[in-house]
């Protein structure tokens, strides 16, 4: 592949980071979370999120999000609680098992970022972060 497109250039490093996170989680006993479930899990807000918000942010149907949340709930990663602002609604919140797994993933991400910084140099890594943050302004409708 002589000249990969920008999408592939963005995807390959992300996939490497993701694979390393999943490997560390599995090694720590969290081997029952799938990529699809993780994409919902990582979008749960600090005070909880409604299912419709998770579906929109993960760009899946509400039914798919509900199915994935059901799986995450059975595995103990999330829980559904009443929404204090709307008695008819429920929030998806991170449960204790999810809270226990999060620092493991965070440590791997920090290690990967440190490796990338060592490879690229501080200036290039800062420029990369800045460029990606600026691209997010026009690509992430959930900001």
- Within a domain: residue 50? yes
Pairing of strands 86-94, 78-83: antiparallel
d(CA 15, CA 7) in angstroms, rounded, equals 12
Express each pLDDT in 75-120 by its tens digit: 999 999 999 988 888 999 999 999 999 999 999 999 999 999 999 9
- Within a domain: residue 43? yes
pTM of the predicted model as reported, rounded to 2 decimal places: 0.88
Nearest to 63 by CA among 79, 51, 78: 51
d(CA 74, CA 71) in angstroms, rounded, equals 5
Mean pLDDT of the chain: 94
- Within a domain: residue 114? yes
Tell me, what CATH number does 25's domain have? 1.10.10.10
d(CA 61, CA 46) in angstroms, rounded, equals 22
Residue 49: domain span: 6-139
pLDDT band at residue 140, thresholds of 50, 70 and 90? confident
At 74 the three-state DSSP class reads helix
Q: Is 43 exposed, middle or buried (0-12, 13-18, 19+ CB in 10 A)?
A: middle
pLDDT at 143 over 70: no
- Within a domain: residue 25? yes
pLDDT reported for residue 72 = 98
Give the count of domains, the chain.
1
- Within a domain: residue 1? no
d(CA 39, CA 44) in angstroms, rounded, equals 9
CB 80 within 8 A of CB 91: yes
pLDDT reported for residue 11 = 95
Q: Hey, how many other C-beta atoms are within 10 angstroms of the C-beta on 76?
A: 14
- Within a domain: residue 131? yes
Dig out the tokens for 116 from the structure. Answer: 């990338």
């Amino acid at each position: 592949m002589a000249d990969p497109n920008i999408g592939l250039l963005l995807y390959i490093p992300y996939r490497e980071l993701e694979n390393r996170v999943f490997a560390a989680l599995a090694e720590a006993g969290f081997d029952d979370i799938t990529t699809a479930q993780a994409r919902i899990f990582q979008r749960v807000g600090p005070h909880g999120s409604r299912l419709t918000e998770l579906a929109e942010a993960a760009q899946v149907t509400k039914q798919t999000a509900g199915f994935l949340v059901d799986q995450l709930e059975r595995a103990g990663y999330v829980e559904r609680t009443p929404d204090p602002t709307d008695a008819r609604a429920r929030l998806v919140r991170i449960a204790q098992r999810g809270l226990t797994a999060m620092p493991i993933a965070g440590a791997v991400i920090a290690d990967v970022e440190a490796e990338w910084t060592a490879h690229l140099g501080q200036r290039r890594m800062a420029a990369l972060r800045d460029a990606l943050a600026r691209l997010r302004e026009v690509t992430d409708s959930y900001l």
